């Protein structure tokens, strides 16, 4: 049996660049910085069938907790690792146009904040959820462009942490644009 092109699953590799916005955290020294826009760079990979798929992604946000200027924070960053389920417009319907999709899944967030005070450096691992959506369009059989907006939010942070005002929590939005390589 031979599968048609629209019925066959595809594998996508997506290097991306983006920006964060609408951030909020209880981590000490990071409250003001999380609320300011930050650069996002990352790499995603997806297996996508006719409608459903799975996705994995790693992203890094250098300077995530640093508002400009801030003499107290010497270095900070955030790294996210996500695993998602994808629900997309059927491939046959989106053959020659943009293909919208929604994603939702779990994320692991690794936050660090180093200060000039050399006291209370923040090293925190937070579990959470992410959800969002976007569109992908191809300019050739193997190359395309993707636009995406997602929300990341932690749950169940440490209750009695010296690095936090209350339980450790972190949430933010990210918008990105990616090059899509389809196999």
Residues of the chain with pLDDT under 50: 1-6
Which pTM value belongs to this model? 0.90
Does residue 104 lie in a domain region? yes
For residue 101, the domain's CATH number is: 2.40.160.20
**DSSP-assigned states of every residue in 79-107:** EEEEEEEEEE--TTTTTTS-EEEEEEEEE
Q: pLDDT at position 5, please?
A: 46
Domain span at 157: 10-182
Q: pLDDT at position 67, please?
A: 81
Does residue 71 lie in a domain region? yes
Does residue 1 lie in a domain region? no
Report how far residue 86's alpha carbon sits from residue 34's, in angstroms, rounded to the nearest whole number.
27
């Amino acid at each position: 049996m031979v599968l048609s092109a629209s019925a066959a699953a595809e594998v996508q590799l997506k290097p991306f660049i983006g920006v964060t916005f609408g951030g909020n955290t209880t981590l000490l020294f990071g409250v003001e910085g999380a609320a300011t826009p930050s650069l996002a760079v990352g790499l995603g990979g997806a297996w996508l069938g006719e409608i459903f798929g799975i996705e994995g992604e790693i992203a890094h946000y250098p300077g995530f907790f640093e508002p400009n200027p801030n003499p107290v924070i010497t270095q900070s960053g955030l790294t996210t690792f996500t695993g998602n389920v994808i629900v997309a417009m059927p491939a046959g319907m989106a053959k020659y146009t943009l293909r919208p999709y929604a994603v939702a899944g779990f994320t692991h967030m690794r936050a660090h904040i180093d200060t000039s005070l050399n006291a209370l450096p923040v090293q925190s691992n937070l579990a959470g959820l992410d959800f969002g959506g976007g569109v992908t369009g191809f300019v050739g059989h193997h190359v395309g462009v993707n636009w995406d907006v997602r929300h990341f939010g932690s749950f169940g942070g440490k209750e009695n942490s010296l690095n936090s005002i209350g339980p450790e929590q972190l949430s933010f939005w990210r918008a990105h644009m990616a090059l899509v390589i389809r196999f």
